[in-house]
Structure 1
Amino acid sequence: MMHSWLHPLPLIAILRGLTPHDAVAMGEVIADAGFRMLEVPLNSPEPLESIRLLQQKLGDRCLIGAGTVMTTAQVDDVAAAGGRLIVMPHADTNVIAAAKRAGLFCTPGVATPTEAFAALAAGADALKIFPAEQVGPAVIKAWRAVLPRDLMLLPVGGITPDTMATYVAVGANGFGIGSALYAPGREVADVSRRARAFAQAWASLSQGTNA
């Protein structure tokens, strides 16, 4: 189950713009910070090669896959590259069903309750709340009252270490982390520092929640 990959650090690293040349070095420092889910958006340079390299190096301790997956054909491409995770910006039920037929985890993007329930009916493993800037904490609180209690809700978009607490307070279970973590041209040491800052923020937040 996806829950096992999101424990104890329920953060998905979104590595948009990653190149194969940098894939392993970036993936290693992010994994070393505690991240266990990494996605390479398909609008990155040679994304399937980056996924293949990350899977070879980190596949035993991280769930590796693709983001910005738009078609069923792309699902097949990701599976062929060794990816095990499909993340989508939308809730196309055909793409979700294709991912599940291929035995992959799937986290579609949703922005309305109608999309959320349709995605779940198609087999989604978790829901990406996207864009989080638009679907804010008040909306997530309302959704949480009607969605399954054990469903993982993962806001994505504009998330920083300082903004996570507001979402968790209303029922978010984790987050997708994009440019606040990784951006093309950023040094490995900087990405490592950012990854650890997110991990530390989550640890502090979890301790406060469990206190």
Structure 2
Amino acid sequence: MPHVERGMAVGLFGGSFNPPHEGHALVAETALRRLALDQLWWMVTPGNPLKDNHNLAPLGERIAASERLAENPRIKVTAFEKALGQSYTARTLEFVRARNPGIRFVWIMGADNLKSFHRWQDWRRIVNTFPIAVIDRPGSTLAYLSSRMARTFSHARIDEDDAATLAFRPAPAWTFIHGRRSPLSSTALRSAAPRA
């Protein structure tokens, strides 16, 4: 895990990044700025339990490509989940919290993941572990109104004007951040790639 100092506000941005693209970089930069974070951990996962990992590029390639995109020195590309031997977010977040006392973490996710978030293993535990920032993505702007997570935890939603305070709030707490969006998606990029 990247080095942190007690009292820091750190965003956790996980995904398979298969491949990473400018849309991911935009989410990371938006989160750093709007949430007033000291760091953002760009966490490249070994795989995704909810997706077909058949076309998953090797972890090393996805890390290298992510590092090329993450130009801001406050963005730390890491793949520490590989050493944990699992890829369930709820367990990863519990591990991160236990290893980093005194750090204020925020889980970062694109709005395109909000629609299916209730299918993630122990999704309620994720919401109750760290505050969550949902960053707008094309076609997903209304997910904060219609998703099961948004409805279940509507009482914990804070206004995006208060996003800079999110890291200092106890979970459950979440916000939806509107802003510039990239039309890029990993699925579309994989589909457009020439077949070998």
User: How does the TM-score come out when normalised to structure 2?
Assistant: 0.40
User: How does the TM-score come out when normalised to structure 1?
Assistant: 0.38
Q: Relative CO higher for 1 or 2, CA cutoff 8 Å, sep ≥ 6?
A: 2
